Amino acid sequence: MQKKIVFIGGPGTGKSTVLNELKKLGHTCMPEISREVTLQAQKEGIDQLFLTKPLLFSEKLLEGREKQYINADASTANIVFFDRGIPSVHAYMRYFKTEYPEVFLQKSTTYKYTKIFQFLPWKEIYTSDNERYETYEESVVISSFLKEAYAELGYEIINVPFGAIEDRCNFIMNSL
């Protein structure tokens, strides 16, 4: 049975860096798609789609993450790593106090993951950029919303210790 492993955590916690390292090591990885959605909206003249049309942005994320899950199912990989999962979408909606349709929760219960690894906020590595507009303090709060959303769905959450990329990757692989 395929293992579907999700990385959660606020922005700037090292999820994508570890995912990219696992990809270099030959693992199947599904990248964070919010940057793609944000960049596409910027090409269409919307600077921050999530801030101006949060429901539309979240619907695009939900659709993209569902496609990632289906693509993972169709692959022959024994392990697939995801930079955020479907429940992350409604966790962010809650953080921004934005109402969302019931389908967001339905998708979160339909598509199940094997393990959830949380990357805790780490001030020393946090940076912001064109697509990451949240402050470190906001990242801390977002992290708690993500943990709560996954815990409510019955997931056990494993905290990834701070450390070098290789150490973080080894911790994850040894936890599988």
Output 171 or 99, whichever has higher pLDDT: 171
Distance of CA 67 to the CA centre of its chain: 14
Rounded CA-CA distance 148/119 in Å is: 14
**Cα-to-chain-centroid distance, residue 116:** 10
Q: For the domain 3-175, what is the CATH code?
A: 3.40.50.300
Tell me the average pLDDT of the chain. Answer: 90
Contacts 24+ apart (CB under 8 A), 126-131: 126/11, 126/12, 126/13, 127/12, 128/11, 128/12, 131/34, 131/35, 131/38, 131/39
Give a three-class secondary structure readout of 33-98: CHHHHHHHHHHCCCCCHHHHCHHHHHHHHHHHHHHHHHHHHHCCCCEEEEECCCHHHHHHHHHCCC
pLDDT at 113 over 80: yes
Give residue limits of the domains in the chain: 3-175
Separation of alpha carbons 8 and 82, rounded Å: 9
**pLDDT of the residue at 4:** 98
Query: E strand or H helix at 166, and its extent?
Result: helix 165-175
Mean pLDDT over residues 94-112, rounded?
Answer: 93
- Of 40 and 46, the structure prediction assigns the larger pLDDT to 40
Q: How much is the CA Rg of the chain, to the nearest whole Å?
A: 15
Query: What average pLDDT does range 153-161 have in this prediction?
Result: 98
Given this model, what pLDDT does residue 43 score?
Answer: 82
pLDDT of residue 49: 66
Q: What is the pTM of this model?
A: 0.91
